[in-house]
Structure 1
Amino acid sequence: MADPARQSRAGCGQGLERMRRAERRRGWRRWLGWRRLFGATAAKLAVAYFVIVGLGFTLVMERVRENIRQLINEQTSHTIDAEIKGLADQYETGGLTQLVTLVDRRSRAPGASIYLVTAPNGVAVAGNVLELPAGVLDQNTAVEIDYERLGEPDVERHAIARVFTLPGGFRLMIGRDLEDRERLRRILGSALFTSLLWLLGIATFGGLFVARRLLQRVDAMSAKAATLLRGDLSGRLPLSGAGDELDRLARNLNAMLDRIADLMEGIRQVSDNIAHDLRTPLTRLRNNAEQALQLDSGEEGARAALEQVIEESDGLIRIFNALLMIARAESQSSRENFSDLDAAELARDMAELYEPSAEDAGIDLRVLAPAPAPIRGQRELIGQALANLIDNALKYGAPEVPGATAQVSIEAEPLGEWVEISVGDHGPGIPAPERERVLERFVRLEASRSRPGSGLGLSLAAAVARLHDGELRVEDNRPGLRVVLSLPRRKEAGDS
């Protein structure tokens, strides 16, 4: 039998090992989290901002220090000049003896001023300067010097001084100690260093805070995008409501997802509709071909059956041509063939083309397009869309009232920034709840199923309108139906 104590120790060891592995995993996740945080764009921008601001702040402070230094030097020079002038007046009044007495008295007073009177041989006569660098007494302008003050040997000090030569070779030097300037320089340097430390701390915490919030929003968007990649197009990227660039990006991406979802739904509907709506004509096509093989009525019966096969084939070809034209319009590839058009002229041409068919059907076809209506677009697609609208009006535009005159009107007119091409009839119309649905592919209302058609005419017209940045509206003509193709008006050279 196994030793219980040994089993207990083994279990404790395994538990400790699991705890250590869990702790290592948590540490690894924390390290990855900090790495992602510091690698975020916001953190990099914060570092760049700190470097730029710190450099600019340093340059400004250095400029301030230099300006203060120059200001102190100028004020010191003015003070020295004024004091030299006063002592020169005393020298003129009382001579050398009075000057030495006055310098000796002033040099004993506490303060930042320094004085020195030397004999022609350079020996100090009066003053509070113990030692000067060689050659200083030969200067005749204000200079910065290092000196030792009387009573403070071996303590090197810094001052601005000026030497004035007296009659008989005597020299008078007056200066101001720069200890206050050096103290101010140290204070400004300390302030600069402290400010940079505060700036570093604020920039670090502020950058981490901004980066963390930004990273949380980006992670939320990434998580939602991951669900979209798995095929769930119902989700949308979250908006914070701040209206910033991330919200604008998410809004545009959501609009793109809406468009993709619409296209995917359209593809699904087209697949379903093709499977349902084309099954019947394909079945009729097969039955007619089979009937042609089984007929015993000779060549005439076979010919009639083949004519029905050809008719069914032509119908299928028209359906696929319409689908290809819709796909062409929705793919935006036709924008390359845009040209300047006159919608009024196009409406008159289409009315002239359909006038014989209207006369055969006993329909009064009228066109109202007196003024030019400039647009820019693909003539073939706009003409096909208008042809579909006119064809539908001629098929379904007969009034339900017995004896009433059937009338179809085609209008084209500019309205502000838009050009509207409309086709109206006085037929039964389309109920208001169905007017959006009829713009979908293969949609045919119950009242129109007894007549030939594929349910793609209005879908093609709507796709052409979207291609030209316009819209297709289905309205009530009171009575009847009015379909409006609204397109942007082309700006002429004189338009503002």
Structure 2
Amino acid sequence: MRFALALSAVFAIGTLSAGGLSYLFLSREMTARLSADVRSSAESLAQIAATGDRTDLREQILAQVRSSRDGASLYAFVDVGSGQVLGSLHVTDPFEGARRLLVGQDIPESDVTGTESAEAYLAYGIRTELGWVIAARDEAWVAESGEILIQTTASSLVLAALLSMGLAVIIARKNERRIDRMDQVLDEVGEGRIDRRIADSGNDDLAALAARVDRMLERLEAGVASIRQVSTDVAHDLRAPLARLRMRLEPQALSSDVPTETRHEIGSALMDIDAISATFDAILRLARLQSGTVERHNDSIDLSVLASSVHEILQASAEEKGHTLYLDLPTILIEVQGDEDMLSQALTNLVANAIEHCPPPAQVRIRAGLRDARPFLEVSDNGPGIPEADRARVLERFVRLDASRSVPGTGLGLSLVAAIAALHRAELVLEDNAPGLRVSMVFQPLAPEATVLTKA
């Protein structure tokens, strides 16, 4: 619509400019033509006066007066001897050359009773041996012609504005649909569907831009496919040797023929192998999530059921660490669209982090509910928390704060949670729980037509 208004404004300015110039040129041309006609009439009378025949001059002036009863033309003869004025124009101060006479000031209003629109006359006077001959014509028809031109210009302006607005709206709507198509494709690519293309069939700048974006997406898809293949190859090549190494070391750790100290070292090596495998699996999962190569289901998920499932799985682990794991559920049914396995993994990571990093005894709480019409999952604890300056940094890969160095981990747990939240267009919020930390995944607002049911 901004484009439509701008185009209409350009048409309006062009029409006004053309109308203004036309009015200016037409007014000048009509005034010049009126001056020429008045002078010609005065010169005709002057030629008669040049013959010295007063009777012929009087008859000619009276004939001109009779033929112009509408007051559009006025004529006068001022006798040089007596000063007597003859004709329809009564002037007391005869003049020579061109002059503009105003009604009521230079011309008595009684001289123009035949016309109501005359306000001024363009006159021309010539002195002869018999006296002055003066011809005058009103300027009303010049003003009327100007008004007609103004009305024509206004009508043209309205028509041009309507046509330009209609044309601009059609073009704007068409381009808006094309831009919406680009936005939709880019949003879908951002959600992991990198096989999507704009495929604009136009031949303008938007089409050229869409073609460049499509070529970029093709290169991106090829790059992601290469990364996916490399990840698969690396997973296959490294997991198998690690698994074989573990299978070879595990019997030695359990054998009574191996010295106790050696078995202890072998057991430590097995723990390191398990940690390496876990880190490697976490890196692969995070890479797939952030590159959009993982398939994401889009099911209706009951947040209460999801939170209850994670609570049931991790309650025993929390008790072993000396913690208490609480569960707060809403009294209403709250559903979000997403991948249940991914959200379960994210919530599990948050609870596991709280269990591992809080000194016992700690209170860890899982909550689900609505916040400003937005569904949320939340994990809070009363442990040491995370300083505000470090809350954004802990979401990066392999970042572990100094206080967590003594706790086993890869530094990828919160990164995985952030990646899962981004895939579900949810906001991951880290806040102070005073004391402790509160981490929330806040989802998009519920659709206006969505209904919230009270649980029985």
Report the TM-score range of the alignment, normalised by the length of the smaller protein.
0.3 to 0.5
TM-score by length of 2: 0.47
Comparing both chains, which one has the higher relative contact order based on Cα–Cα distances under 8 Å and sequence gaps of 6 or more?
2
User: Which protein is richer in helix relative to its size?
Assistant: 1
